[in-house]
């Protein structure tokens, strides 16, 4: 008997429909899978045989051939086990075929028939809705994630026997539904780290606020123990809350990478990724024989923090340059090309020299000018040009550390950031741009108009610091953000860039100053 079940395979963060066809042949005991299966798919026979035996079902004695269409797409992983097992039973008339065409079936089988979690449940549920399926049957651990998709019945079941009984009408199961509005309201402001714990460093706090308001990349340069990492880790707490669309896209990436928390439906706070400096280029941007998202994609809609920036492999840093501009990364293989989004804020921290105390007022630097120059040259000029805000950080004096009163809390800073983002949302309505850092040259000519006094100031800064054309653009974008943060600026009447706004933006080019040239 020829039967069909339906499942899905992942391609990037999207899913592709897979049809599993099962038919009995005349060769006794033969079990063949065709359609470019990898070893994990071929080994499903042993898992299915054991699962059926434990649950008092017999594996058909007559030969069975399984075809997975489209046949030219490579099938990888064990998530197809459930669909193949149900197809085998249906071909032997052990499972009714009446409702098989209504559901996508996914799940890895244990030897006892229990269903193990899979990757990409959210993307697969979105595909099921697009293709008009009634619902998805998948492991219980993935149900919360998939149930975010409205208009789809999500059945999170724990073992093969329950699936068989459900399809045969012998057991009733209730689909899972998730209230995304309630979920967001409960979890969006759940941060353990707060800026109220930071003592002093008002200039760096202000720079972080500007970076958050405009989505700007930022680097902090200062001696060890000055608080660079401490403040960077608190940055997600002042970024605007995720929208539902951003949350779904971010969750899809983490789900494909197998990093989702099975107790949560969606990622409701912006991701903060902090890879070690020994990371490889592939792990940073993504790839592998079966391409998976890298750290720059896992930081999508959030923050990528690179601590001790000069210690990273130069080749790894250089491959970030294009994804930083394009906000996506394309990974090409001989028979496959996948694309992952990578719209992230880059926040980096570094010591100013090998000993860490160059320009430190409290410690003497033991490095020669040549050593400082060599250390700084580990970071290429083109990469630094893509970092809008470069700020120097100095140690906090004891008088500041010993103060008992707390600094301004993250919630207060976040209110100003959200207000500035509303101005930008109105400015860039009906475009795919959502913050000042992403403005095109055409947009800059329209929204970053300078008067004569401002033009004279930036001309002198460019001549004195020897700034590139890209650095000039970065200064204008940062100045536009500073103007949006002004208390008098509104979405209906945003303030033009003034001398004060431009002067502050220019001050955020610390590495362009002469003393850093080595």
Q: Cα–Cα distance between 277 and 313 in angstroms, integer?
A: 7
Q: Cα–Cα distance between 316 and 302 in angstroms, integer?
A: 20
Burial label, 132 (beta-carbon count in 10 A; 0-12, 13-18, 19+): exposed
Q: Residue ranges of the alpha helices (H) in 224-360?
A: 228-233, 244-256, 281-285, 295-298, 314-318, 321-326
Structure tokens at 232: 């960077």
Q: Cα–Cα distance between 121 and 148 in angstroms, integer?
A: 10
Q: Cα–Cα distance between 421 and 471 in angstroms, integer?
A: 23
CA 252 to chain centre: 9
pLDDT of residue 188: 62
Best CA proximity match to 222, nearest among 503, 516, 518 = 516
What percent of the chain is predicted at pLDDT more than 90?
62
What mean pLDDT comes out for the span 462-480? 86
> pLDDT tens, 170-186?
999 999 988 877 777 66
Q: Which residue has the higher pLDDT, 127 or 516?
A: 127
307: β partners:
349
Q: Cα–Cα distance between 462 and 476 in angstroms, integer?
A: 12
Instruction: Give rounded-to-5 percent helix, strand, coil for the chain.
Output: 40, 15, 40
Q: Is residue 517's pLDDT more than 50?
A: no
Q: Is residue 241's pLDDT more than 70?
A: yes
Q: Cα–Cα distance between 68 and 35 in angstroms, integer?
A: 5
> pLDDT tens, 334-350?
777 889 999 999 999 99
pLDDT of residue 518: 44
Q: Cα–Cα distance between 284 and 297 in angstroms, integer?
A: 9
Residue 201 near residue 393 (C-beta atoms within 8 A) = yes
What mean pLDDT is reported for the chain?
Answer: 90
Q: Cα–Cα distance between 25 and 11 in angstroms, integer?
A: 32
3 state SS of 229 = helix
> pLDDT tens, 391-420?
999 888 777 777 777 788 999 999 999 999
pLDDT of residue 187: 62
pLDDT of residue 464: 82
Structure tokens at 190: 């759940």
CB atoms within 10 A of CB 430: 5
pTM for this model (two decimals): 0.89
Residue 489, phi-psi category: left (phi > 0), alpha (psi -120 to 50), beta (remainder) = beta
pLDDT of residue 332: 83
pLDDT bracket for residue 386 (50, 70, 90): confident
Residue 293 near residue 286 (C-beta atoms within 8 A) = yes
Structure tokens at 329: 């990364």
Give the count of alpha carbons within 13 A of 452, CB side only: 0
Per-residue H/E/C for 186-215: HHCCCCCCCHHHCCCCHHHHHHHHHHHHHC
What mean pLDDT comes out for the span 134-149? 94
Q: Max CA-CA distance within the chain?
A: 89
Q: Supply the Cα-derived Rg of the chain in whole angstroms.
A: 28
Structure tokens at 270: 């912006």
Q: Write down the residue that tokens 């000055």 correspond to.
A: 226
What mean pLDDT comes out for the span 250-276? 89
> pLDDT tens, 13-59?
999 999 999 998 867 778 999 999 999 999 999 999 999 999 999 88
Q: Cα–Cα distance between 88 and 17 in angstroms, integer?
A: 19
Q: Cα–Cα distance between 465 and 478 in angstroms, integer?
A: 17
Dihedral sign, Cα of residue 33, residue 39, residue 41, residue 42 = positive
Q: Cα–Cα distance between 113 and 355 in angstroms, integer?
A: 58
Scored b (16 or more CB within 10 A) or e, 475-505 reads: bbbbbbbbbbbbeebeeeebbebbeebbebb
What mean pLDDT comes out for the span 417-424? 96
């Amino acid at each position: 008997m020829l039967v069909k079940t339906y499942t899905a395979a992942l391609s990037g963060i999207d899913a592709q429909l897979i049809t599993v066809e099962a038919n009995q042949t005349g060769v006794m005991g033969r079990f063949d899978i065709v359609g470019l299966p990898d070893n994990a798919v071929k080994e499903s026979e042993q898992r299915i045989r054991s699962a059926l035996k434990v649950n008092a079902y017999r594996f058909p004695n007559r030969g069975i051939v399984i075809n997975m269409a489209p046949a030219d797409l490579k099938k990888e992983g064990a998530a197809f086990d459930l669909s193949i097992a149900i197809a085998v039973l249906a071909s032997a008339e052990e499972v009714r075929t009446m409702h098989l065409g209504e559901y996508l079936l996914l799940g890895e089988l244990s030897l006892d028939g229990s269903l193990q979690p899979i990757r990409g449940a959210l993307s697969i549920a979105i595909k099921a809705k697009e293709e008009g399926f009634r619902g998805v049957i998948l492991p219980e651990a993935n149900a919360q994630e998939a149930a975010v998709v409205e208009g789809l019945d999500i059945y999170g079941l724990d073992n093969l026997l329950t699936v068989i009984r459900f399809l045969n009408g012998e057991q009733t199961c209730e689909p899972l539904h998730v209230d995304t509005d309630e979920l967001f309201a409960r979890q969006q402001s759940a941060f353990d780290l707060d800026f109220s714990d930071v003592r002093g460093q008002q200039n760096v706090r202000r720079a972080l606020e500007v970076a958050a308001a405009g989505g700007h990349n930022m680097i902090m340069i200062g001696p060890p123990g000055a608080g660079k990492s401490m403040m960077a880790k608190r940055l997600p707490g002042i970024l605007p809350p995720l929208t539902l669309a951003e949350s779904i896209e971010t969750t899809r990436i983490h789900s494909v990478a197998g990093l989702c928390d099975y107790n949560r439906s969606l990622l409701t706070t912006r991701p903060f990724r902090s890879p070690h400096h020994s990371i490889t280029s592939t792990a940073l941007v993504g790839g592998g024989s079966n391409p998976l998202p890298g750290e720059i994609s896992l930081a999508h809609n959030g923050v990528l923090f690179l601590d001790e920036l000069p210690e990273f492999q130069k080749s790894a840093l250089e491959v970030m340059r294009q994804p930083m501009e394009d906000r996506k990364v394309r990974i090409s293989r001989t028979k496959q090309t996948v694309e992952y989004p990578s719209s992230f804020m880059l926040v980096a921290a570094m010591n100013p020299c090998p000993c860490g105390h160059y320009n430190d007022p409290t410690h003497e630097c033991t490095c020669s000018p040549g050593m400082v120059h060599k250390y700084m040259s580990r970071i290429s000029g083109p990469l630094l040009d893509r970092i809008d805000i470069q700020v120097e950080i100095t140690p906090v004096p004891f008088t500041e550390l010993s103060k008992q009163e707390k600094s301004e809390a993250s919630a207060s800073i976040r209110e100003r950031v959200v207000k500035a983002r509303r101005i930008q949302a109105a400015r860039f309505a009906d475009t795919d741009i959502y913050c000042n850092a992403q403005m095109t040259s055409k947009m800059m000519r329209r929204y970053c108009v300078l008067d004569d006094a401002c033009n004279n100031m930036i001309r002198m800064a460019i001549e004195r610091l020897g700034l590139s054309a890209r650095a000039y653009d970065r200064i204008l974008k940062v100045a536009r953000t500073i103007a949006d943060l002004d208390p008098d600026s509104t979405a209906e009447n945003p303030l033009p860039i003034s001398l004060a706004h431009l002067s502050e933006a220019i001050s955020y080019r610390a590495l362009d100053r002469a003393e850093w040239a080595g």
